[in-house]
Structure 1
Amino acid sequence: MVKSMPARSEVSIDETWDLQSLFASDEAFHDALSALEKEVDAFASTYKGNTKNASTVNTLLKAYAEINEKFVPVGTYASLKISTDQTDDEAQMLSSKFGSAAAKVNSKLSFVTSELLALPDETLEQAMQESDEFKVYLEKLIRKKQYQLHSEVEKTLAAYSSTFNAPYGLYNTTKMVDMSFDDFEVDGKSYPLSYVSFEGDWEAETDTAKRRAAFNAFSQKLKDYQHTTAKTYDMQLQTEKTTSDLRGYDSIFDYLLFNQEVDRSLYNRQIDLITSELAPHMRKYAKLLQKAHGLEKMTFADLKISLDPTYEPEITVEESKKYINDALGIMGEDYLEMIERSYSERWIDFAQNKGKSTGAFCSSPYGNHPYILISWTGRMNEVFVLAHELGHAGHFYNANRAQNIFNARPSLYFIEAPSTMNEMLMANHLLENSKDPKFKRWVISSIVARTYYHNFVTHLLEAAYQRKVYERIDAGQSVNAGILNNLKRGVLEEFWGDTVEINDGAELTWMRQPHYYMGLYPYTYSAGLTISTQVSKRILEEGQPAVDEWLEVLKAGGTKSPVELSKMAGIDITTDQPLRDTIAYIGELIDELEKLTEEIEGE
């Protein structure tokens, strides 16, 4: 039964994360922010205009790295604070204060990039030879040279950074603060509704009448805010288009893919192949769900239900530990120690409360430990969510210790590989340790419904829709709610065909996803899962050598491109074979579900 959400002040402290390793109090945060602003002034007066040769380049970068390291905890504290309660006035003010301070600081620091890129390439190459430490950073900088603007322009643009980031903040405020859901009724009974309860519970509710009523009530509330949300999104898009044009990129796609270090063919392939080749498998899965639930018709509101509504294991936070440890034990002692600390030192925010960000994420501040946000519902599938976020944590736990601050983060294209890898390890472990066909069916349906549906279908359909949006923007057009609704509906109808009725409200799902404010992010989930599916197969077949190679990949951080990182793990993503193999594997899983269902029903 879904209960009303408590206020943040009412949840148990044990269910919350402990931000004290960042700052002991808000006061300590404000002190650190003031000190940082002074340090930036001192840094600028020491180094501005004084970088002339290779040795001064490396001296500058050493000091610049130290400044960046001090920037991390204040930024992390401000964002984590508001993510657990967007309605908290103090957290809002603290976040705004950081935003405006960050804009000033970035503006004052913009000279670093401008002055380095004004030097001859030979000087930068000599600096790389003299010190390996900043080699990767300088290589990436040289790549950017043709898109760099005059130093005064760069300084001005940096000063506007918090304004350019405003659409994302506005989106979150609309979604988590202004949007308030009324209870909905079924057969004369009232049920509470919120963003978190809809996405965490009602979407998967086994009672069809309640599930569809919740979907309708949820969609109706989204509809009330569609025009504001569309205007907010258009603001984000126009800012990106202007930046792309100003910097001289051929298209907005080239601009957004530049830092991902992959070309457009890899981006397009991910969307085109999955849209055409995965759709038949997923339609088969939708029909299986429809049959299992005895539904007259299958609607968009029914796609998140579990295959076996009578079999949904429940699990406490405490019980999740054993599953996580057993499944990820193959990653070694160091990895397991990180998992132990994440529970015992309260790195994870499990609470469900009003104003908390939806979904789950992992923040991995350099020089500190990772933080994970999740809203624990007690359903067994949360173990997959937690394993996923611990995959991000394990990635940066390794990369942050092995690399300097500039080299720790890999391309966005690769970012979801370590997280989805852990979901695969969890699934493999659960399958190996049970002979019960019902449990096996639950595990496989969890992989299909959570791991693959979420990453290969939900996020991929977001990516297909997002590509259509950017094609409009690239052609100099804008968007509004009507256009966005039509684009989203079109993508859903193309994928599901006549198997699933795309009912009213489905077109509004574009309003639910913050990823659209993070560039070309949605498609990277399927890219990461393609890599991790293939690596997890290697680990199953080869054991320790494959694990050791994977740990080396994690430690490499951002020192290599996605193609090189994948190659280190034994996967060649320059061909479409890994993606086709992964799509075929999803097909095999769905066939296995059909077989198990026949076996269980025949008993």
Structure 2
Amino acid sequence: MVKSLPPRSAVNVEETWNLNDLFRTEEEYNAAIEQLESEVASFEERFKGKITDEKAILEALDGYASIMGKMVPIGTYTSLSHSVDQTNDEAQMRASKYGSIASKLGSQLSFFTSELSEVSSELLENAMTQSEEYKNYLEELIRQKPHKLHPEVEKTLAAFSSVLNAPYGLYNTTKLVDMNFDDFEVDGEKYPLSYTTFEGGWESETDTEKRRAAYDAFHAKLREYQHTTAKTYDMHLQKEKTTSDLRGYDNVFDYLLFNQEVDRSMYDRQIDLIMEHLAPHMRKYAKLLQKVHGLDEMTFSDLKISLDPNYEPKITIEESKKYIDDALAIMGDDYLNMIDRSYKERWTDFAQNAGKSTGAFCSSPYGVHPYILISWTGSMEDVFVLAHELGHAGHFYNAHQHQNIFNSRPSMYFIEAPSTMNEMLMANHLLSNSDDPKFKRWVISSIVARTYYHNFVTHLLEAAYQRKVYERIDAGGSVNANVLNGLKRGVLEEFWGDDVKINEGAELTWMRQPHYYMGLYPYTYSAGLTISTQVSKRILEEGQPAVEDWLKVLQAGGTKSPAELSKMAGVDITTEQPLLDTIAYIGELIDQLVELTEEIEAAQVN
């Protein structure tokens, strides 16, 4: 049975992350802010109006890198301490206060990129020849030149950054602080409900009556907040559209894809091919779930159930380490040492508590170590999620060792490749360990239900919906709850067809994801998994040489474009073939599930 969540103060400290590696005390944190403010003031006094030659450019870059190095841990501490308990007044006030401070510092520092942008490209190119360390940063600056505004405008925009970014904070406050769920009732018995318990338990509950009752209660509460959440989202969209126009982009898509270093065709291809070619495979999977569970009809509320819930083992946090170590051993000793440290040094927040952010993420502050947030329920899905987040951690652990603070982060398009790679390695390892049909079906269904469903269905359907939203915004329109509900329902019905009933409440799914406040992020999950699926096949076939190539990709950080990074790993994402191959592979996995189910059922009859 799913239990109600305790307050943060009641959870086991050993299941929480150790933020002392960022700052040991509040006094140390406040002193770091004072030092940062002083350094920014000195930087402004020394360089404002004086960046006129190669020597000044390189000295200013040294100073700017130092400031960024101090800003990162402060921002990370502020964000992480808030993310584990958004009901905590102290964390709320700290986040609000630092938001204002960061806006002020951003405004003071805005002269730097503005003045560099006004320097001739020839002078910037000369500076590049004198410093390999800052070559990528200066190349990117030249690429951004056409979209830079007058220095005073840039300064004003930077000063307003905390206000302009407020919709995301408002979304989280509505979702995690104001939205309190009532218990739901089945056969006279009441059960507790929250965002975390629904997404981490009730959504995949094997008892159909309880699952559907939880679904109805959860979405009834969402519906109460739909208009506030829609207005919050529309504010964010209008900000992006205005920024796109001000900076001279042809459309909001070009603006949002610019920093991803991919063109519109790669974005559209990812959505269009999956909507067309993956849908038939996933409908077959849905019908298999319906058959195995003997459901009267297959509804949207049934899509997250396990194919064989009785086979699902409960896994402790400690036990998860052996699964992950064994699966990722092929990555080498240094990678395994990082994983070992993550457990020993409490890099991960496993606890379940009220007010904690939903889902999972990895934050990788430069100069410290990664931090992972997850709410541990003890399912195999948690092991896959943890392996996924450790993929992000391993990416930046490697990149930070080989790149400076400007060069360590790759395009968002590529960001989910290292994380989903770890899920593929986990699946391949489990599959190699047994020929038992029930075990194989359990592993394959875990891959389909967790890795591919999550990245190729959940997030891709977000992306298809998001594209429709931006098309509306780009045409000068706006959105409200009714519009968003209609767009979301339309995408779900297009993908699932007549094989899945899109029951009432499914249209509110847009309210659940924070990704919509992060640009064109949702489609990148399937893009990353396309890359990692193909590279994991290479690793299976070639072994160590493919692993070495992949480690070099991780170490390259942001020094290459997504296409260049993929090419280093042996995948050509400039064509549609890797994506089509990955979709075909998902189809093969689902066919195997059907065959294994028939084999298991035949054995039970005999």
Output the CA distance in 1 between the equivalents of 2:317 and 2:596: 29
How many residue pairs align between the two structures? 603
Output the CA distance in 1 between the equivalents of 2:26 and 2:263: 43
3-state SS of the aligned residue for 1:296?
coil
Q: Which residue is equivalent to 2:453? A: 453
* Structure 1 residue 436, shift from structure 2 partner: 2.0
Output the CA distance in 2 between the equivalents of 1:274 and 1:119: 44
Alignment of 1:346-385 (within 5 A): 346-385=346-385
Question: Do the aligned partners of 1:204 and 1:304 also contact (CA within 8 Å) in 2?
Answer: yes
Q: Which residue is equivalent to 1:478? A: 478
Q: Which residue is equivalent to 1:598? A: 598
Q: Which residue is equivalent to 2:27? A: 27
Q: Which residue is equivalent to 2:466? A: 466
Output the CA distance in 1 between the equivalents of 2:142 and 2:88: 43
Deviation sequence 1:551-590 (CA, Å, 0-9, x none): 0000000000000000000000000000000000000000
Alignment of 1:508-587 (within 5 A): 508-587=508-587
Output the CA distance in 2 between the equivalents of 1:101 and 1:331: 41
* Structure 1 residue 309, shift from structure 2 partner: 2.2
Output the CA distance in 1 between the equivalents of 2:25 and 2:488: 44
Output the CA distance in 1 between the equivalents of 2:262 and 2:40: 34
Q: Which residue is equivalent to 2:400? A: 400
* Structure 1 residue 305, shift from structure 2 partner: 0.2
Q: Which amino acid aligns with 2:2?
A: V
* Structure 1 residue 35, shift from structure 2 partner: 1.6
Output the CA distance in 1 between the equivalents of 2:174 and 2:164: 17
3-state SS of the aligned residue for 1:602?
helix
Output the CA distance in 1 between the equivalents of 2:108 and 2:515: 29
* Structure 1 residue 380, shift from structure 2 partner: 1.7
Q: Which residue is equivalent to 2:106? A: 106
Q: Which amino acid aligns with 1:59?
A: E
Q: Which residue is equivalent to 1:116? A: 116
Q: Which residue is equivalent to 1:249? A: 249
Output the CA distance in 2 between the equivalents of 1:512 and 1:367: 33
* Structure 1 residue 38, shift from structure 2 partner: 1.4
Q: Which residue is equivalent to 2:185? A: 185
Alignment of 1:266-345 (within 5 A): 266-345=266-345
Decide which moves more: 482-491 or 31-40: 31-40
Q: Which residue is equivalent to 2:48? A: 48
Output the CA distance in 1 between the equivalents of 2:310 and 2:455: 25
* Structure 1 residue 26, shift from structure 2 partner: 2.1
Output the CA distance in 2 between the equivalents of 1:152 and 1:328: 50
Q: Which amino acid aligns with 2:247?
A: R
Question: Do the aligned partners of 1:55 and 1:130 also contact (CA within 8 Å) in 2?
Answer: no
Q: Which amino acid aligns with 2:452?
A: Y
Output the CA distance in 1 between the equivalents of 2:251 and 2:313: 48
Q: Which amino acid aligns with 2:195?
A: Y
3-state SS of the aligned residue for 1:435?
coil
Deviation sequence 1:452-476 (CA, Å, 0-9, x none): 0000000000000000000000001
Deviation sequence 1:376-412 (CA, Å, 0-9, x none): 0011221100000000000000001110100000000
3-state SS of the aligned residue for 2:185?
strand
Deviation sequence 1:308-352 (CA, Å, 0-9, x none): 122111100000010000000000000000000000000000000
Q: Which amino acid aligns with 1:80?
A: L
Q: Which amino acid aligns with 2:320?
A: S
Output the CA distance in 1 between the equivalents of 2:12 and 2:309: 30
Output the CA distance in 2 between the equivalents of 1:157 and 1:571: 40
* Structure 1 residue 273, shift from structure 2 partner: 0.3
TM-score (norm 1): 1.00
Deviation sequence 1:361-381 (CA, Å, 0-9, x none): 000000010000000001122
Q: Which residue is equivalent to 2:65? A: 65
Q: Which residue is equivalent to 1:96? A: 96
| Structure 1 residue runs of 4 or more that deviate by more than 4 Å after TM superposition | none
Output the CA distance in 2 between the equivalents of 1:123 and 1:6: 59
Q: Which residue is equivalent to 2:36? A: 36
Q: Which residue is equivalent to 2:6? A: 6
* Structure 1 residue 438, shift from structure 2 partner: 1.1
Output the CA distance in 1 between the equivalents of 2:430 and 2:357: 30
TM-score (norm 2): 0.99
Question: Do the aligned partners of 1:40 and 1:109 also contact (CA within 8 Å) in 2?
Answer: yes
Q: Which residue is equivalent to 1:437? A: 437
* Structure 1 residue 30, shift from structure 2 partner: 1.6
Unmatched runs of 5 consecutive residues or more in structure 1: none
Q: Which amino acid aligns with 1:494?
A: E
Decide which moves more: 515-524 or 43-52: 43-52
Output the CA distance in 2 between the equivalents of 1:176 and 1:82: 11
3-state SS of the aligned residue for 1:362?
strand
Output the CA distance in 2 between the equivalents of 1:139 and 1:537: 34
Please, what is the CA RMSD of the aligned residues? Answer: 0.5
Q: Which amino acid aligns with 2:385?
A: V
Q: Which residue is equivalent to 1:233? A: 233
Decide which moves more: 263-272 or 434-443: 434-443
Q: Which amino acid aligns with 2:426?
A: M
Output the CA distance in 2 between the equivalents of 1:525 and 1:26: 36
Deviation sequence 1:7-62 (CA, Å, 0-9, x none): 00000000000000100122221221122111111110011111111121111101
Deviation sequence 1:481-527 (CA, Å, 0-9, x none): 00000000000000000000000000000000000000000000000
- The percentage of counterpart residues that share the same residue type is 75
Output the CA distance in 1 between the equivalents of 2:5 and 2:92: 20
Q: Which amino acid aligns with 1:248?
A: G
* Structure 1 residue 98, shift from structure 2 partner: 1.1
Output the CA distance in 2 between the equivalents of 1:264 and 1:61: 32
Output the CA distance in 2 between the equivalents of 1:372 and 1:561: 26
3-state SS of the aligned residue for 1:134?
helix
Q: Which residue is equivalent to 1:85? A: 85
* Structure 1 residue 101, shift from structure 2 partner: 0.5
* Structure 1 residue 449, shift from structure 2 partner: 0.5
3-state SS of the aligned residue for 1:2?
coil
Q: Which residue is equivalent to 1:134? A: 134
Unmatched runs of 5 consecutive residues or more in structure 2: none
3-state SS of the aligned residue for 2:190?
strand
